[in-house]
Amino acid sequence: MAAGLMSMGYAGAASGSAASLAPSYLPKKDRYARLTSNENPFGPSPSAKKALKAAIDDSFLYPREYRQTLIELIAKEEGVSEDHILLGAGSSELLHAAARVYGGAKGKVLSADPTYTSLIRSAEMMGSEWIKIPLDKNFDHDLSTMEYKVKPGVSLVYLVNPNNPTGKIMTGEEIIGFCNTVSSKVPVFVDEAYWDYMENPKGSTTTACIKEGANVIVARTFSKVHAFAGLRVGYCIAQPEVIKELAKEGPRNTLSGPSMSAATASLVDYDFIKYSVKMNNEGKKFVYDVLEKTGHDYFPSHTNFILFPIAMDYADFKKKMLDNGVGIKSMNVGGQDYCRVSMGKMEDLEMFAGAFQKVIGTTINKS
C-alpha cells in the first residue's frame, strides 16, 4: 500500500522548508524541526493542490459556488442536510463564534482541564466563567463529575475528543451517552479536530446525537489529517437553528474559493487520508521507541502528537530543545512537567530523538 501511495507522488507532498519556519529569535540552523503545533507535513494531498491551483484563475469571483459545492459534499459525507453545516476559516473561527453565542458576561463554560483552550479563552475575554473539571488520575475525562456539575447557569459544555494535549479518547459509547443526557439541559460542543486519527472515527463521532435531534455541536478541521493548517478550512455540524445563531456571530464569507475547492478534493481523497494516518502511526512508533529506550512513560496517542512526563522544568526543557533546533510544547499539570511533541517527517523526529537524548543526558545504546 505504502509503496503504491509513494509512487502516486505523496512522498514529496510537503515541499516547504521547515527551516524557514523557525522562530526568528533562533540562531540560524540548517534545519528546524517544528513539532509544536500538530500540523501534518505529509500534505496537502496532490489532489488538493491540483484543485487549489485550478481555482486560482477564478479568484476574481466571489466564491459562492465553491462554498455551495463544499457544503453539499460535507452534508452528503456526514449524512445530514445542508442547513446543519457552517463553514469557518479553520475551526478556530467556529470556536470563537460559539464563545460569542454561549459565552458573554453571563456565560459559564464547563470543560475538562487540561484541554484545548481556544474557545474557553474567547469566552473568558467576553466575561464568561470557566468551570474546570480536572482530568482523572489516568488523564481521562471525569464524565460523571462533569455531568454532576452541569447546574443552572452553565451555558455550554465543551469536550475535545480526542483530547489535546493528552491524545486520549472518550469511546463512542461514553461520549454519545454523555451528550445524549447532558444536551437536554445545556448545549454540548464537541471539538473533533483529531477525529480522523481515531481507530474508529465513524463509531466515535457525536454527529450521531445531532441526527437524533440533540443539541450537540461538532467542530471539525481540515488543519490536521488534511494538512490545511495554512489554508484555513473548518466546519461545524449542529441543529439548523443553532447553525443560524452561530452564523450571526461568526464567519461571514471568510473562506477563499481556492481553499474551499482544495477542501472539496481533500475531503473524499480517502487514499491520502489513509496515507497521512499511516505516516503518523510510523512517526508515533518511532517516538514511543525512543521514549521506552530512555525510560519514559507516555500516553498512547489517538492523535498526531504525544504527551509524556519529563523530569525537568518544562520551560527549561523547551528552551534546551529549541537550542538544539527542535520546537515542542511543554507544560506543567498538577505539579508534573510534560512535553507534547507533534509528529513530523522522520528527519524531524530523528532530530527530536537526538536533541532529547542530549537534553536529558541519556544516550540510547544502539547495539
Ligand X SMILES: Cc1ncc(COP(=O)(O)O)c(C=O)c1O
Give the residues lining the site for ligand X (CB under 6 A): 38, 90-92, 116, 160, 164, 191, 193, 221, 223, 229, 234
The C-alpha cell at 13 is 507532498
> How near is the Cβ of 153 to ligand X at its closest, in Å?
25
> How near is the Cβ of 367 to ligand X at its closest, in Å?
39
Candidates 124, 138, 92; CA nearest to 250 is 92
> How near is the Cβ of 56 to ligand X at its closest, in Å?
22
Measured distance CA(118)–CA(122) in Å, rounded: 6
Identify which of residues 5 and 344 has a Cβ nearer to ligand X in the complex: 344
Identify which of residues 38 and 359 has a Cβ nearer to ligand X in the complex: 38
Measured distance CA(174)–CA(208) in Å, rounded: 13
The C-alpha cell at 196 is 480522523
Identify which of residues 224 and 318 has a Cβ nearer to ligand X in the complex: 224
> How near is the Cβ of 333 to ligand X at its closest, in Å?
16
Measured distance CA(317)–CA(290) in Å, rounded: 17
First to last CA, the chain: 31
Candidates 153, 136, 146, 197; CA nearest to 175 is 146
Measured distance CA(73)–CA(79) in Å, rounded: 10
Identify which of residues 158 and 298 has a Cβ nearer to ligand X in the complex: 158
> How near is the Cβ of 95 to ligand X at its closest, in Å?
6
Identify which of residues 159 and 321 has a Cβ nearer to ligand X in the complex: 159
Measured distance CA(233)–CA(70) in Å, rounded: 11
Ramachandran angles phi, psi of 284, nearest 5° = -65, -40
> How near is the Cβ of 193 to ligand X at its closest, in Å?
4
Identify which of residues 232 and 353 has a Cβ nearer to ligand X in the complex: 232
The C-alpha cell at 210 is 445531532
Neighbours of 165 (CB within 10 A): 23
Identify which of residues 71 and 193 has a Cβ nearer to ligand X in the complex: 193
> How near is the Cβ of 260 to ligand X at its closest, in Å?
14
Which residue has the CB atom at the shortest distance from ligand X? 90
84 by Cβ neighbours in 10 Å (0-12 / 13-18 / 19+) ranks as buried
